[in-house]
Amino acid sequence: MADALTVVKIGGNVIDDATSLKRFLTAFASLRGAKILIHGGGKIATQVAEKLGIQTTMVDGRRITDQPMLDVVTMVYGGLVNKQIVAKLQALDTNAIGLTGADGSTVLAKKRPVKEIDYGMVGDIEEVDSGQIQFFLRQDLTPVFAPITYNSSGDLLNTNADTMASAIAVDMTKHNDVTLVYCFEKKGVLKDHTDDNSVINELTPALYADYKAAGVINKGMIPKLDNAFKALDNGVSKVIICHADQLTAAVGQGAGTTLKK
C-alpha cells in the first residue's frame, strides 16, 4: 500500500494576514506523515509593484504578467513569501525546503499561447518530476512551492497556484496515496456567498454542473473546482476545499467541501 501524502494549497487573504498564516502553518506542521505545501502570493505582489511604480492589470481575476511584473512576482512569491513560510515552519519543527518549479527541474511549463488575451509570462504546466519531489520527501524535507515555474528556454513563468497544486498532486500519485486540500478564507464551497455556513458538504460532477448552471458557483471558484475535479479524475484519492483554520479537521474527521466522483 502506497504511503499517504497530503498536498495542501494555501492562498487568499490568509497569506496577507500574519496571525491567520501562523495559525494555518501551526496546523500544517501538525499534520502526520509526508506533506507538501503550495502557496499563492496574496495581495503582497500588488502592493510591492505599486511601491515600484509598476501597474497591475487583472483580467477575470488573473494577473497579466509582463516582464516587470514577472520580476515582482518572482521576488515576492519565490523570495519574500516563500522564505517567510519556510522560516516559520522551521520554528514549528518542520524541516521545510522552499522551491519554485525551476528548482530541481520539478515543474516544467510553457508560456501560455496568446488567444483573446495575452497573459504575458504566464506558464501552463507541461510536466512534474514527482521522482525529484519524492527524493526531497525521503530526506524528511517538506517541499514548499511558490507558484513560479520555468520553460525549456530557461525563462521563469508565473503559474496559477491552484493549477500547480493539482498537477503536483496528480503526479505524486505515482508514489503515494494523495489527499489534496485547498485552503482559503471560506469554510468550503458555499450555496450563498454571503453566508459562510451554507457549505456544500459533498460535491459531485453532476451537482457541480447544476450549481454552475444556476449561478450558485461562479467566478473564481470555477477554475479552483475545475482543477480539483481534474485531480480527482487523475488518481488523487480525495480532494477537500475548506477554511485555513479547518485544515486539521478536514484531513481528520472531515470539514469543508469534499469532492467525489
CA distances from 149 to 45, 152, 156, 180, 199 (A): 17, 10, 6, 20, 33
Rg of the chain over all Cα atoms, to the nearest angstrom = 17
Q: Taking a C-beta distance cutoff of 8 angstroms, is the pair 169, 178 a contact?
A: yes
Distance CA 69, CA 56 (A): 8
Amino acid at 54: I
- Is the four-CA dihedral 21, 26, 31, 35 of positive or negative sign? positive
Instruction: State the binding site for substrate.
Output: 41-42, 63, 158
Q: Taking a C-beta distance cutoff of 8 angstroms, is the pair 45, 77 a contact?
A: yes
Nearest to 42 by CA among 19, 73, 8, 88: 73
Instruction: State the binding site.
Output: 41-42, 63, 158
Give Cα 35 to chain centroid, integer Å: 13
**Cβ neighbours for 161, distance < 8 A, ≥ 6 positions apart:** 9, 11, 38, 39, 40, 41, 147
Question: Scanning the structure block, which residue is given the C-alpha cell 519554485?
Answer: 100
